[in-house]
Amino acid sequence: MTIDRTSLRWNGWGPAAQPDALPKESPAWQWIADALGINTPLPETPATPLEKCTLPASGLDGETRLELERIVGANQVHTGDYERAFHARGKSYHDLLHVRAGNLSNAPDAVVYPRSEDETQRLVEFAAARDIVLVPFGGGSSVVGGVTGREQGEKRLCITVDTTLMTSLLSIDETAMTATAQAGIYGPALDKALASQGVRLGHYPQSFEYSTLGGWVAARGAGQNSIRYGRADKWLVSAHVATPSGLWRTEATPGSAAAPNLNQMVAGSEGTLGIITEATFKVHSLPDAEDYRGYLFRSFAEGADAIRRIVQSEIPTAMLRLSDADETFFFRTLGGIGKEHGLKDNLAEAYLRLRGYADRPCALIVGLEGSAANVSHARDRVARIMSACGGLHVGRSPGTSWKAGRFHGPMVRDPMMDHGLGVDTLETSTFWSNIQTLHSAVREAIDTSIRETLDDPSARGIVMAHISHAYPDGASLYFTFVFPRRLDRGLEGEVAQWLTIKRAASDAIAAHNGTISHHHGVGTDHAPWLGQEKGPVGMQMLGAVKQSLDPKGVMNPGKVLGDGIGN
Ligand SMILES: Cc1cc2nc3c(=O)[nH]c(=O)nc-3n(C[C@H](O)[C@H](O)[C@H](O)COP(=O)(O)OP(=O)(O)OC[C@H]3O[C@@H](n4cnc5c(N)ncnc54)[C@H](O)[C@@H]3O)c2cc1C
């Protein structure tokens, strides 16, 4: 079962029909405007409807269309406006600036939906022979420019290959605890199929509902419970990839010393080497017990120290998520707006004041999953470390409400963009010894660069961050920032505003020893910083692999190895 494209927003996030996540009459708008130093009413900035957008004519000629139809079937080759608009770009803030403004100049000439590995391989070989560009597309949830159709200056025919008709769970090896599925299966469908056999992969990115197995591997992502279930490069056992040089089957053994592990070339390849048609991955028994709960810390440093100690003590947790003081304040205030403030809340506040947690606290959510005995044992050990590090237990409700809304946060972005506000996120990781330095440097870079882009001296951004994934040696930092959009200079001015902020943040990450991406990938947006991270020899190796598998450069050109930020 796949998701009908027309049931989804082509220029936003989630279902086409969905309740407004931030209704017009909500008092939250005024609070956000005040926090941003905006003294005028927020403007109405709705997205351009499709019928008013400029779509370049498809360059697909009749003969090529016939050839494509011979490979994938007549019903699987699309050149209609909706299909081309849906596949023009991904879901980054930068992507949304373009599509909401009605600029669909990146739309591919056609979208094709292969139904099998054989069709995909024939399609890739056909494209290579004809020098036709192919852009692999799963859920299209890339936030780094990974699925942009025609890159600027690309003259060749451009076809997006949508994998979402390849949705079968092919097999489960209950003895080895691995499973194999076709790459185009969406998160919920995969989860359901695995759960019916008593197992799960456990990969839950925030985009889970609208992203695919192939996209998770290709972008080398991490789910919210990555501490327990691992990132994509950890749970991937093997893959089949349709490349211009033939079908590539990576080796599948639990451990091997037979030269470097080529699965690591698939994870993170972002469609530049070929199209992943199926993947084999590790699975886990469904947990008997779950425990999600909250703690408060007086400082980000104390909370980070608690996470480090828990992970280094090898206590089996599924998730540890620490918000900095700004993020804690933002979500607590936003969540409380419009709600009646009763006696219970007053007592809770008085208690926090008394214990010294009222002044800019940092919230930490702990998630535990597994057998009842393991969860209970882990809960006690976690509680001891939290307490030793200054954490205050605040009960289950922050944990359960975080879990219930774990995929809903992004629904707020469209209404914000409809009211002149920009919202973007970026992420990195570093060693524990550097985490506070990197947090401060990137926070400062985003805050300063937002102010630089605004004329009004009282206007500013809201910048917040959390630790989202933890390892024994370090952790990731995930930044979210909200800012008043530069609406006065059109699309070009808005892209320039975004570029100023993005460059400042990325330069700060590179200067302070963070990775340019912990889990979103490289796409076009992070490509200019990749060389600094991999070094000249590393870049030469990546280029040589690309050249060897895809000598004509038809597979997702401009991504990962390009330099096209802002395209
Ligand atoms: C709201 C939101 C929240 C997000 N949260 C997370 C998160 O928590 N964790 C995380 O890791 N990421 C997150 N992301 C980023 C994104 O969802 C991930 O990168 C995801 O793995 C992409 O999956 P997809 O199926 O949508 O792939 P797409 O966006 O379609 O593609 C991503 C990249 O992989 C390539 N690709 C896709 N399918 C294939 C294939 N079969 N073979 C070869 N190449 C392929 C594409 O060409 C592109 O370069 C989030 C994005 C959004 C919009």
Model confidence pLDDT, tens digit, residues 14-35? 999 988 888 888 889 999 999 9
Tell me how far apart the alpha carbons of residues 293 and 380 are, in angstroms, rounded to a whole number: 13
C-alpha to C-alpha distance for 121 and 375, rounded to whole angstroms = 45
Model confidence pLDDT, tens digit, residues 212-262: 999 999 999 999 999 999 999 999 999 999 999 999 999 899 999 999 999
Cβ-contact 367, 401 below 8 angstroms:
no
Q: What's the alpha-carbon Rg for the chain, to the nearest Å?
A: 24
Is residue 363 within 8 A of residue 466, CB to CB? The reply is: no
Angle (CA) 528 531 535, round 5°: 170
The number of the ligand 1 atom at minimal distance from the alpha carbon of 216 is: 21
Give the confidence band of 566 by pLDDT, cuts at 50, 70, 90.
low
Do 307 and 320 touch, CB atoms closer than 8 A? Answer: yes
* Third-level CATH fold of 289-406: Vanillyl-alcohol Oxidase; Chain A, domain 3 (3.40.462)
What gap in Å lies between CA 547 and CA 484, rounded to an integer?
43
Domains 169-284 and 289-406 belong to one CATH topology: no
Q: Which residues line ligand 1 (CB under 6 A)?
A: 13, 90-91, 135-143, 146-147, 163, 183, 205-207, 211-212, 214-216, 218-219, 221-222, 270-271, 275-276, 410, 519-521, 556, 559
The terminus-to-terminus CA distance of the chain in angstroms comes to 34
Closest C-alpha among 363, 367, 379, 358 to residue 322: 363
Within 13 Å, how many C-alpha atoms sit on residue 114's CB side? 28
HSE value, Cβ hemisphere, 13 Å, CA-based, for 204: 18
Predicted confidence (pLDDT) per residue in 151-186, tens digit: 889 999 999 999 999 999 999 999 999 999 999 999
For the chain, which residues make up each domain, given as ranges?
A: 169-284, 289-406, 410-511
Query: According to the 3-state scheme, what is the secondary structure of 23-47?
Result: CCCCCHHHHHHHHCCCCCCCCCCCC
Ligand 1 probe mutation, 207, 227, 229, most atoms within 8 A of CB: 207
Bridge partners, 8 (sequence order) = 15
What residues are labeled active site? 478
Q: Report how far apart, in Å, the C-alpha atoms of 246 and of each of 122, 123, 126, 237 are.
A: 9, 11, 11, 20
Question: What is the predicted pLDDT for the residue at 1?
Answer: 59
Say whether the ipTM exceeds 0.95.
yes
Q: Which atom of ligand 1 is nearest to the CA of 213?
A: 25
Would you identify the CATH topology of the domain 410-511? Answer: Vanillyl-alcohol Oxidase; Chain A, domain 3 (3.40.462)
Binding residues: 136-142, 270-276, 413
- Does domain 169-284 fall under CATH 3.30.465.10? My reply is yes
* CB within 8 Å of 563: residues ≥ 6 apart: 527, 528
* Residue 183 alpha carbon, nearest atom of ligand 1: 41
pLDDT in tens, 55-104: 999 999 999 999 999 999 999 999 999 999 999 999 999 999 999 999 99
Residue whose structure tokens are 């086409």: 16
Bridge-based pairing of strands 133-137 and 158-162 is parallel
